[in-house]
Structure 1
Amino acid sequence: MHTHGLRSVRRLPAMATAVALAAGTLAVLAPAPAHAAAGATLPFTSVEAESAATTGTRIGPDHTQGTHASEASGRRAVRLEPGQRVEFTVPRGANAVNVAHSVPDGRSGTLNVYVNGQKLARTLPVTSKYSYVDTPWIAGSKTHHLYDNARLLLGRDVQAGDKLAFEATDVQVTVDVADFEQVAAPAAKPSGAVSVTDKGADPSGRGDSTQAFRDAIAAARGGTVWIPPGEYRITSSLGGVQNVTIQGAGHWHSVVRASRFIDQSGSSGNVHIKDFAVIGEVTERVDSSPDNFVNGSLGPNSSVSGMWLQHLKVGLWLTGNNDNLVVEDNRILDTTADGLNLNGNARGVRVRNNFLRNQGDDALAMWSLNAPDVDSSFENNTISQPNLANGIAIYGGTDITVRGNLVSDTNALGSGIAISNQKFLDPFHPLSGTITVDGNTLVRTGAMNPNWNHPMGALRVDSYDSAIEAQVRITGTTITDSPYSAFEFVSGSGRGHAAKNITVDGATVRDTGTVVVQAETQGAATFRNVTATGVGSAGIYNCPYPAGSGTFTLTDGGGNSGWSSTWSDCSTWPQPGQGNPDPDPDRNLARGRPVTATGSQDVYTPGKAVDGDPHTYWESANHAFPQALTVDLGSAQPVRRLVLKLPPQSAWQARTQTLSVQGSTDGSSYSTVVPSTAYRFDPATGNTVSVGVSADIRYLRLHVTANTGWPAAQFSEVEAYLS
């Protein structure tokens, strides 16, 4: 079985063409609909570790492929050495917690757990066993899947406002996010159900319960199989599952340990699977192995609900007849490939209100191989941290809907949402009918594609193997903090197929790193009521490839604002924050940029020097001069002035730091642009120093040799300006 994502894609050189901008052609369009909050309604509340109190080190933000910060939720996390803690303020009443974490490759350990300072007898096991996945057959991939999830029933209730702390004991642990949940008591056995324990299943998890499950399914045909609270081990997949309900007491209570649960090519249907966990032992991705919760078909009119699926290759890889299948209210975590893939011939399938985290390929995908997926939808799902491909991907199909989803923190080879004619294999059925993309929210989505050597947008329409002939209707979209572009129109094969018949109606774009519209192939789209603020470089990049293949026409349907400028030089790709043609001279070029240092002390990490908060600061390793801080401005910039700060509080007594300013355009060869000078930081003047500079710099380095106030280099803000 072959799962997929963006596989081998060609780099698309930027080639200049004219921008075609028409006006007034969409005046008859209805207003964009109002939308409720996107994403799933979840029974837990998540809290980011970087917002918690800690004695560890906060890392990030970062969008560099293959780093712990870039794969983390929010692109930030907290790193704990043994003995260090992160302490969360509990946001709601809870008796259980799930923690996304990472430990060094090849290591395992535990986290001690404290409630209001009292150490619990229970500890939380942490491991790298299911992390650090390599897929060398996927072009551009690096070691990824750095995180894992571990859950714990606390054995007591905690209330909103209580303090829940995790302490590393015997291994370094990077803590990303904690999910707090009030777990209900185990459900009761349904009347008339056939229990797997009555057929010999072992709820201790020691014995092999495979045959007991098969016998219970056969005996309960037309009724219910009951999985009581306990842990059950299944060593081979189940088949012949039809006209039966398989039900547990709740996924925190009824747990099946199996890397393969159902594997069958067909079924008469009416299969309902609900309310238990299937947790596998998949530690690498082998595309020829069906290491999936469901592999194949459940048959028509079936459902999957209330499940916890973890440590599998794919949650549900669906082929054959799955007409009118409903997949809802599930959690799918830590899969080495897709979370769910409708692999052709899906009719009337509804995938809704699911939570997916840490997928190693597309989190949710429809792939119209052999037959088209028809009239199927992904609605109101929450997706976090797909670490190789897309949050949601639609590869072909007819009359498909993607509505009300929340996607965040994509990595490397993916967009938040991809609408694509990439076929991978034949026979493939391209997009047709109407593709509805409505009311979705994309946060920090899009990524630098290492194959193209420039990025993919938060929402991508890709005429990869054939022109877009379907009507693509994108409405009510919110795109926030995209590291690169918001909307991308591309023919990813580099063959210049047209991306056309597209309307974007009603969108809010906030703080996009480069451009709002990234057009790289011929075609046309109409934009109406698209507003943008905080655009990093320019409104439009319009450079179809290959040269002479045609133009991409942007039609202004009215109501657009904040993105009228055009990137003028198609021989270069805009870098985040690189304005065009004349960057704002008052903009701080260093704020939020990637930053490194020769060392740091405790929680005073390099990112504190460029976070825009003068009250936080970087402090180098103590008693170890010289020390250096390096900021990547993204591209060579004619820097004329630096502003260096220490915290403004009067408690910071006056001190003098001796430093030189160095610059580089390539990150390897540095020259001194300001020689070593002693600068006095005085709270009476705001603890601020201004340094004149005259050089083109991409990598800005401050080389510090002395500090009269502390045996380390210290900066609360490093700011760089063009004037």
Structure 2
Amino acid sequence: MHPHPHAMRRARRLPAVATAVALAAGTLVTLASGTAQAAPGASLPFTSVEAESATSTGTRIGPDHTQGTLASEASGRQAVRLNTGQRVEFTAPRAANAVNVAYSVPDGQSGSLDVYVNGQRLARTLPVTSKYSYVDTPWIAGAKTHHLYDNGRLLLGQHVQAGDKVAFQATNVQVTVDVADFEQVAAAASRPAGSISVTDRGADPGGQGDSTQAFRDAIAAARGGTVWIPPGEYRLTSSLNGVQNVTIQGAGPWHSVVRGSRFIDQSSSSGGVHLKDFAVIGEVTERVDTSPDNFVNGSLGPDSTVSGMWLQHLKVGLWLTGNNDNLVVENNRVLDTTADGLNLNGGARNVRVRHNFLRNQGDDALAMWSLNSPDVNSGFTNNTISQPNLANGIAIYGGTDITVADNLISDTNALGSGIAISNQKFLDPFHPLAGTITVAGNTLVRAGAMNPNWNHPMGALRVDSYDSAIEAQVRITGTTVTDSPYSAFEFVSGSGRGFAAKNITVDGATVTAVGTVVVQAETPGAATFRGVTATGVGSAGIYNCPYPAGSGTFTLTDGGGNSGWNSTWADCSTWPAPGQGNPGPDPNRNLAKGRPATATGQQDVHSAGRAVDGDPNSYWESANNAFPQSLTVDLGSAQAVRRLVLKLPPSPAWGARTQTLSVQGSTDGSAYATLAASKEYRFDPAAGNTVTVALNAHIRHLRLHVTGNTGWPAAQFSEVEAYLS
């Protein structure tokens, strides 16, 4: 058994600093000439519809990028919350007889959704549960409770046509609906001639008996042929091994279902293993890195294939070690894993991972990690990845001649970028990036996240010289970055040791609506940019502040054809907040807007970030009936704060109330001093629901400590603003 490395992966070794950004930037990447590309992502058998675009009697939540919230982990950063009796109604985008729904219910609760087609309630319901959600990984630095969603699938028992109305109604539990996948599921496939059926060896298709030995017997008997899994559900209580030179085939992933958290666990195989057209649905509810709770753990051997699989509720889909040369993994769905979707854990040669759909991973969705020996000439191409909720969409940790091409990646969350090209080793012996790393034709949507360990963001595409300088040729070509909450391209040395990121070219990129900067350069190195166009840049074109100070420079070479991002962030002592613009002496600039905010607690979706998002109608609300509570804002660097403005929503519905609070401040985030003693502050909608507090403090960290509220049993602020005068 191979322990999962990610316990170490997130333990960033960045020194604590108050002024300089605590991330060293990576080197530049060489981008090849852009060419016409096919649509990125996988060819999928279903069509997805977002709940926020449907008709609903519920409440839309989001958008939000705050770590650990339902909206931030949702596809599109929005979802619809249904209380009992409320519904969301989708217009079917295609002919379908099945649906898969991504949803969340409160921790510890379960229930069901009633299903309606064109107003008629179906006899069957869609079960919903929190059993596989709310994962805690306290050994991973910066992790909060995450993995808030789950996926539930249902055969409708009838056909719907494009334009028909399919509704889901909460009956006995609050349900947050994120997205629905509509699919036309084919009839069950027929048994291949000459195959050996697991039922002939005693497997129970009713799912009651233990079918493990029957599977083992069928595999042994079918060496060189095919094991057939007929329609039904089969319970396995332990893993299979000695699997080689055999095809294991089902009637389709909606028809042939294996219930078990471990399928194949073996360190070696002579190869020729073909796994196709069935589902493996586990019972993994917590992440235990020492347990091989994976569909495949180890080796399938050379010239093997995995296709047409539905993998769900496992720790990892495929954790691949040993000889897997020429492996092809294609046309699979990997949902709701507590760690990686797939990891080529060293020694992978000529592996192709393509046209897979991955949603709701608890770590990297797809990863290559060159431990013990390098991954060589392998690639991730045409995959669609949505909502990795703790790490990256695609991560390449070392390796030689690796390709990441034509993937569609969206909605990454804390501790991750859409794509990471990295020399972070975690363990030795590690083999750094070498040869040519090709990153071509990828589309990154709402990718990048605020890293709670670094206290500033990770870009949509990150090149990270974490443990050693990048010597490989990194060629980034034809990238599309849309709606990144922070930066588009980040070059960093995540250990804070300033290793250089070199030999990088970015060619032919289209960047639309980035929250902060197009290029976030934080380590020595150099890159050439050609044909990179940007619109809707939130702060400045370039942030170029290598760390540690004096470690060297990052050189950006204009190769021609660039537009829309020629300005440079002027002050390396502050990190640009989304939409902030270049810093200047303007005393009317709100120092707190868009800055990282944390709180001792929150009620529902009313997270700390809502108090600094610039929207007077959204608000932070602490846990109810649990005074005292506090809200802390990191201003990014020490500032001479002279005035605070505290607000509640301006709506008259927010009646007058008095909050009792004190103001505290710190330069290092550790030792806090009282800046304004506790007193009562009156918020009155007739006066704009606004309170001003005079200060005379030089602080980086601002804290409001609340002990009472006459209007509600919780601390509440819609905006916390800090000014120089």
Bin the TM-score by the shorter chain: 0.7 to 0.9
SS of 2:71's partner is: helix
For residues 251-282 of structure 1, the C-alpha deviation after alignment (integer angstroms, 9 at most, x for no partner) is 00000001110111111111110000000011
Give the drift of 1:123: 0.5
For residues 89-144 of structure 1, the C-alpha deviation after alignment (integer angstroms, 9 at most, x for no partner) is 11111110011111111111111111111111000011111111111111111111
Query: In the alignment, which residue of structure 2 is the partner of 1:576?
Result: 578
Give, in whole Å, the separation in 1 of the partners of 2:43 and 2:410: 16
Matches within 5 A, 1:489-504: 489-504=491-506
Query: In the alignment, which residue of structure 2 is the partner of 1:531?
Result: 533
Give, in whole Å, the separation in 2 of the partners of 1:476 and 1:410: 20
Give the drift of 1:545: 1.1
Query: In the alignment, which residue of structure 2 is the partner of 1:624?
Result: none
Give the drift of 1:693: 11
1:78 to 80, 83, 90: 80
SS of 2:380's partner is: strand
Give, in whole Å, the separation in 1 of the partners of 2:63 and 2:654: 30
For residues 189-212 of structure 1, the C-alpha deviation after alignment (integer angstroms, 9 at most, x for no partner) is 111111111111110001111111
- Residues 1:611 and 1:569: Cα distance change in structure 2 (over 3 Å): closer
Give the drift of 1:658: 9.1
Find out whether 1:265 has 2:240 as its counterpart.
no
The answer as to whether partners of 1:186 and 1:249 remain within 8 angstroms in 2 is yes
Query: In the alignment, which residue of structure 1 is the partner of 2:707?
Result: none
The answer as to whether partners of 1:57 and 1:604 remain within 8 angstroms in 2 is no
SS of 2:187's partner is: coil
Give, in whole Å, the separation in 1 of the partners of 2:543 and 2:64: 24
The answer as to whether partners of 1:656 and 1:678 remain within 8 angstroms in 2 is no
For residues 354-380 of structure 1, the C-alpha deviation after alignment (integer angstroms, 9 at most, x for no partner) is 000010110000000010000000000
SS of 1:511's partner is: strand
Give, in whole Å, the separation in 2 of the partners of 1:53 and 1:604: 24
Query: In the alignment, which residue of structure 2 is the partner of 1:286?
Result: 288
The answer as to whether partners of 2:366 and 2:393 remain within 8 angstroms in 1 is yes
Query: In the alignment, which residue of structure 2 is the partner of 1:240?
Result: 242
- Residues 1:516 and 1:665: Cα distance change in structure 2 (over 3 Å): farther
Give, in whole Å, the separation in 2 of the partners of 1:510 and 1:665: 39
SS of 1:321's partner is: coil
Give the drift of 1:11: 3.3
Give, in whole Å, the separation in 2 of the partners of 1:560 and 1:671: 54
Query: In the alignment, which residue of structure 2 is the partner of 1:684?
Result: none
- Residues 1:244 and 1:494: Cα distance change in structure 2 (over 3 Å): same
Q: Which amino acid aligns with 1:510?
A: T
Matches within 5 A, 1:189-228: 189-228=191-230
Query: In the alignment, which residue of structure 2 is the partner of 1:555?
Result: 557
Give, in whole Å, the separation in 2 of the partners of 1:579 and 1:146: 34
2:11 to 8, 11, 31: 8
Q: Which TM-score applies when normalising by structure 1?
A: 0.83
What runs of 5+ residues in structure 1 fail to find an aligned partner? Answer: 597-601, 621-629, 648-653, 680-688, 707-716
1:36 to 35, 38, 43: 38
Query: In the alignment, which residue of structure 2 is the partner of 1:710?
Result: none
For residues 672-717 of structure 1, the C-alpha deviation after alignment (integer angstroms, 9 at most, x for no partner) is 99995759xxxxxxxxx9x999999x999xxxx99xxxxxxxxxx9
- Residues 1:610 and 1:378: Cα distance change in structure 2 (over 3 Å): same
Give the drift of 1:2: 2.4
- Higher normalized contact order (CA 8 Å, seq sep 6+, divided by chain length): 2
Give the drift of 1:458: 0.8
- Residues 1:511 and 1:693: Cα distance change in structure 2 (over 3 Å): farther
1:183 to 182, 185, 188: 185
Give, in whole Å, the separation in 1 of the partners of 2:569 and 2:216: 62
- Residues 1:527 and 1:205: Cα distance change in structure 2 (over 3 Å): same
Identity of aligned residues (%): 78
Moved more, 390-399 or 43-52: 43-52
2:402 to 400, 403, 415: 400
- Residues 1:16 and 1:51: Cα distance change in structure 2 (over 3 Å): closer
Give, in whole Å, the separation in 1 of the partners of 2:271 and 2:32: 41
SS of 1:533's partner is: strand
Q: Which TM-score applies when normalising by structure 2?
A: 0.83
Query: In the alignment, which residue of structure 2 is the partner of 1:412?
Result: 414
Matches within 5 A, 1:92-241: 92-241=94-243
- Residues 1:192 and 1:666: Cα distance change in structure 2 (over 3 Å): farther
The answer as to whether partners of 1:334 and 1:360 remain within 8 angstroms in 2 is yes
Give the drift of 1:603: 13
Give, in whole Å, the separation in 1 of the partners of 2:344 and 2:317: 11
Query: In the alignment, which residue of structure 1 is the partner of 2:92?
Result: 90
The answer as to whether partners of 1:102 and 1:146 remain within 8 angstroms in 2 is yes
What runs of 5+ residues in structure 2 fail to find an aligned partner? Answer: 599-603, 622-630, 667-673, 696-701, 705-709, 712-718
Query: In the alignment, which residue of structure 1 is the partner of 2:626?
Result: none
Report how many residues are paired.
677
Give, in whole Å, the separation in 1 of the partners of 2:490 and 2:560: 20
Give the drift of 1:610: 12
Moved more, 200-209 or 82-91: 82-91
The answer as to whether partners of 2:656 and 2:683 remain within 8 angstroms in 1 is no
For residues 565-623 of structure 1, the C-alpha deviation after alignment (integer angstroms, 9 at most, x for no partner) is 11111111111111004699999999999999xxxxx9999999999999x999x9xxx
